[in-house]
Structure 1
Amino acid sequence: MSEPIRRDRPGGRPADRLDQPLAKTSRWTLPSRMDPESFGAFAERFARFMGTARFLVWMTVFVAVWVVWNTLGPPSVRFDPYAFIFLTLMLSLQASYAAPLILLATNRQDDRDKVQMEQDRARDERNLADTEFLTREVAALRLAMREVATRDFVRSELRSLLEELVERDGPDEDEGARRRPGGTTGAGPTAGAPRRDT
């Protein structure tokens, strides 16, 4: 097989071979070595600091010193005349960086809130399932307790059985007591005496 024809490009560089796929050339990109988690934590700290009274006090002091320096200072040391264009530029730059950082911190908080809501929903579903299970168990126990004899019921049944036994065995006990020596039943001195009909 013959070698494919290669034609040199203008400028002396060899042309790409047509029988081989092109090699992937890496374009120059900015290396992204910054950890997104650490950058997000920095954004949250920055947004939290911007929402404090300390930041407002320091910002007010900074602007007041800037204005006083460029208004009342000697003309040789003034670097921003009355319109304070440089100060406006710095405040605009600070606001342009602050807004994305605050949005990033808000997005991270929203993500945390979503995860927390999912965990709360799963916990609520587990609690609901446990509550339903316990409700079914309590209902089953109530149904089973209807068939179980209570203490009062057992006492009443034993009392009625005892009364039946006393009624059935009562005359035999009296005859046995009469046949005992002495002929007394222990009810009194005249218990064995013959009855007089009046």
Structure 2
Amino acid sequence: MAKKLNKNSLEYPREARRTLKPSYDPETFGRWSERFARFLGTARFLVFMTGFVVFWLAWNSLAPSNLQFDHYPFIFLTLLLSLQASYAAPLILLAQNRQADRDRVQGNEDREREERNMADTEYLTRELASLRSAIGEVTTRDYLHSEIADAIEEIVKKLNKKS
């Protein structure tokens, strides 16, 4: 008899539930906000925004009054600029926070790399010190020659005494 599998068991992934809350990928939104913040800091944006404002002011000042769409002293322009600033500020802050997170991770990696380099340097320093002390204990050629010369002199003296 075949065992009936329960759809609520761990063998099956849960199906996505429908919700009224919008879903978005925070990473994609973050990358988009960084691109937007980068664009706001360019000369191109300043030229576009200046052109837009100059066109708005010129149109609503020089066009016939039946074609003007901002009849009051540019209140609609002020509203649009305020709206743009109210969206730009949080996006710029989001981009700065993401950059700060990257800088923090990079700083941690740099510290870990520096600690490894320091440990390697200390190890090499200890090895070099042990090699220096080992070299100090090694017999040199001059020392060996002088010892052999002394031994030959002693042998010659002993042979001269015997004869």
Following superposition, the deviation at residue 157 of structure 1 comes to 2.2
* Percent identical residues: 61
Indicate yes or no: 2:149 matched with 1:135: no
Which has a greater percent of helix? 2
1:48 to 38, 41, 59: 38
**Does the alignment pair 1:29 with 2:1?**
no
Distance in 1 (alpha carbons) for counterparts of 2:80 and 2:43: 21
Aligned residue type for 2:20: T
Q: Distance in 1 between matches of 2:136 and 2:114?
A: 33
Output the TM-score relative to the length of structure 2: 0.80
User: What is the CA deviation profile of residues 123-162 of structure 1, one whole-angstrom value per residue up to 9, with x for unaligned ones?
Assistant: 1111111111111111111121121112222232233334
Aligned counterpart for 1:144 among listed residues 129, 134, 141: 134
Secondary structure at the counterpart of residue 138 of structure 2: coil
CA distance in 1 between partners of 2:100 and 2:131 (Å): 46
| TM-score, scaled to structure 1 | 0.67
Correspondence for 1:154 among 140, 144, 151: 144
Q: Which residue of 1 is the match for residue 95 of structure 2?
A: 105
1:74 maps to 64
Question: What's the counterpart of residue 73 of structure 2?
Answer: 83
Per-residue deviation, 1:165: 4.7
CA RMSD of aligned residues (A): 2.3
CA contact (8 A) 1:71 1:82 kept: no
- Residue 58 in structure 1 maps to residue 43 in structure 2: no
Match of 2:13 in 1: none
Question: In 1, Cα distance between the equivalents of 2:109 and 2:157?
Answer: 72
Consecutive unaligned residues in structure 2, runs of 5 or more: 1-16
- Which structure has more relative contact order (CA 8 Å, sep 6+)? It is 2
Higher CA-based Rg: 1
SS at match of 1:157: helix
SS in 2 for 1:29: coil
Q: Which runs of 5+ in 1 are unaligned?
A: 1-25, 173-198
The aligned residue for residue 4 of structure 2 is: none
Q: How many pairs does the alignment contain?
A: 147
